[in-house]
Structures are given as C-alpha cells and as structure tokens.
Amino acid sequence: MRRVDSRWYQWIIVLLICSVMKVKAEVIPNKVAKTLVQDAFSKGAVCLDGSPAAYHYDQGSGDGVNNWIVWLEGGGWCRSVEDCGQRFNYSNGSSNHIDSKSFYGLLSNSKTSNPDFYNWHRIMIRYCDGSSYTGDVELVDKVTNQHYRGARIFQAIMDELLAKGMKNATNAILSGCSAGGLGTMFHCDRFRSLLPSTARVKCLSDGAYFLLDNDFKRVNILESTYDGVVNLHNSAKVLPPSCTSRMNPASCFFPQHIQEDIKTPLFILNSAYDSWQIVDTVIPFADRQDFAENCKKNLSKCSPHQQKLLQGFGAEFLSALPKSYSPSQRGMYINSCLMHCQTDHDWSWNSNSDLLNNKTIAKVFGDWFFERDPSQEMVKQHDLPQICSPPS
C-alpha cells in the first residue's frame, strides 16, 4: 500500500483552519470607530451635556460605492431637565461615553446576513439628544449646562456625509429604530430633499409605530412624554407643518398622525406585539415584574388578563396602520414577534425567526426598495405574540 506523505495531511489541516477562519470573518462584524462632528460647537451639533455629536461610518466598496444607508439610533426620550440630566453619564446623553460599534442587521458588512446592502456606505448616528432628533434650542441652561440640539445634530451630520460623497448618491436609505425610527419619519422628506432628484431614496422606520393611548383607558404615558419633549426641546418647528397646523405638536409624535403626510416612500417594520409598548404602556406597573419573568418568556404562563391585554393591543395596532396607499409609497412588514427593534440584529433581519409568506425582513424590504416586487405588504396576525429568538 502506498504511503501518503504526512505533509499532505498538514496542508489539509491548514486549509480547513483557513476555511473556518474565513467563515468566522464573514459573520463576525468589524468594530466601526467613533467619528465626532467637525466644528460641532460652532454648529450647535452637541449632545445633551454639550459634547460633540458622534456617528460611525463604514465606507462602501465595489458596486456599493454610490449607495448610502443612514441609521438613527434610538433610546427613548427625556422630557424634563431631571430626565435629561440623568443621561449625562451614558451614551444617550454624551459622546464621552460612546465607543466603537459593531454593525449588525441592516448595517452588517456580511453578504450572507445583508445581501442587498452589505457593501454600501453604512452610517449609524448615535442618539444623545433625547428628542428623536427634533430639538433646536439656542440658549444653554446655565445651571445644568443642558443642550437641546437634536435637529442640529441631524443636519450637521448630513452636511458631513454629503461632503464625503453622499451628494452623488444613486441609492439612499434613511432608517432608524425606536426613537430613531420616529426620527426617520420626521426627517424622511428632509433627507430626500438633500439628495439628487435622480436618486432612489426611501425610508425604513423600525419599531417606531407608537400608538396613541387606546380603549384600555391607560394613563396617557406617551402623550405626556411627548408633550414634555416638545416643550423642553422646542420640537414643534421640526415636526411636519401639515400635522402641527391641525393638531397639538405633541400629537404629531404619533406615526398614525404623520405617516400620511410623508411624501417619500416609507417602509414600516414593526411587531403587532411591540414589546416596549406592551411593557411600558399596556401592562400595569404593579404587574410588570411578573410579566417580564413569566409571561414574556413563556406565553403559556400568561394570565387570562394578560392574554386579553396582549390581544387587545395587537388588534388595536393593526387598526392604526395605513389603510389606503400606493404600494410603491408604503411597504410594511408586521409580524407577531414579542420584540421591539428588528433591523439591528442579524438573526431578526435575515433569518427564519418569524417568516411572512416564507420571506425574511431583509428579502421583503430589498424587493420593495429595488422595486423587484414593489407591492410588499406583509401583515401577520396571531391571537397571541410569538417568542422569536436567535437560532441556537
């Protein structure tokens, strides 16, 4: 029998190791450094504590060099001096606490996870203003040193990106999650106006379809929050005039009141059982710990009352969605996962977690954006939410 040179085995082992390393390199995202806004102080583009606004920029390549994604980070709102002051020691109030960031989901550089957009210019704007990028107060609070400049942050970063080449974009997306998804709606038409008329420009709002308080007669949590934000941050002038001319500016923070006025094509991604809204605005405060420890993890442990609340919210959410629109102007992916944002994880963005018509979120949005199949309206209703989680 012929003896095989042991060196061949060594080469095979080396090749196998290299192959494994290559696969890992494709799925492990790179860390994207923090970029501070240039001349932030003179532009007023500063966080709540007065530190320069920040973003992360991963440059495009190949056939993606003329295409851009800008993603607005979320993180709730601060509606009072006390609320905003509590953010000074965290990244949602100061860029001093912002480090490099890994990109996942819609911002991933993996062709497997993000096949349509992996090699675009991908930018994450960090959320440090507490107003969904709407604040515009000139004066600084001399006692607390608080700055309310969310709108100026958005504009200053847009100016920098335009100078970096976005002014020549062929395709562009403005997206965001939660409070950032709401900011996406506020700035969608403004973003469109900055780019060439020949460019394909669309917006994707994720986990931001916040509902006006409903038939359950809940405490008006969001209404009072938005009223405080508008007054503290001077947000009214950034909100759509078509809305503020017919109702209180705080009411214009609710997507059901502004989505119809957005002229730029908009894709709404949300769960009909949005976990943040359910926990913070539906479940009574006294029951939240029990809900988090039991019902949220195992739906069979939900009490009849909790099931009724979940079912009621899901039905109300679906009834608040756009009713009549052109498919090219509005796309939707409404699933039943008991979760909040879905663009910022590989497993929720492009996996078999909760498919609608056997399509992932990434597939449906990509088809809608590129008009491969523009009539993308995916709405799935279960009697109760689904527990969606990363594959093991």
- Is 22 a member of any domain? no
* Domain range for 68: 28-274+323-379
pLDDT at 23: 38
Tell me the pLDDT tens digit for each residue of 64-120: 999 999 999 999 999 999 999 999 999 999 999 999 999 999 999 999 999 999 999
Rounded to an integer, what distance in angstroms lies between the CA atom of residue 89 and that of residue 63?
41
User: Total domain count for the chain?
Assistant: 1
Weakest mean pLDDT among 38-47, 112-121, 183-192, 374-383: 374-383
In angstroms, what CA-CA distances link 338 with 252, 335, 374, 384?
26, 9, 27, 9
Rounded to an integer, what distance in angstroms lies between the CA atom of residue 226 and that of residue 131?
9
Q: Which amino acid is located at 38 in the chain?
A: Q
Q: CB neighbours (10 Å) of residue 61? A: 12
In angstroms, what CA-CA distances link 7 with 12, 14, 259?
9, 11, 66
- Is 363 a member of any domain? yes
Q: What is the CATH number of the domain that holds 347?
A: 3.40.50
- Is 1 a member of any domain? no
- Is 8 a member of any domain? no
| Distance in angstroms between the alpha carbons of the first and the last residue of the chain | 45
Asked if 180 and 129 touch (Cβ cutoff 8 Å), the reply is no
Which residues are tagged catalytic?
Answer: 178, 274, 340
Averaged confidence pLDDT in the chain: 89
* Number of alpha carbons in the 13 Å side-chain half-sphere of residue 20: 6
Rounded to an integer, what distance in angstroms lies between the CA atom of residue 181 and that of residue 57?
19
- Is 311 a member of any domain? no
* pLDDT tier, 341 (very low <50, low <70, confident <90, very high otherwise): very high
- Is 5 a member of any domain? no
- Is 136 a member of any domain? yes
Tell me the pLDDT tens digit for each residue of 166-199: 999 999 999 999 999 999 999 999 999 999 999 9
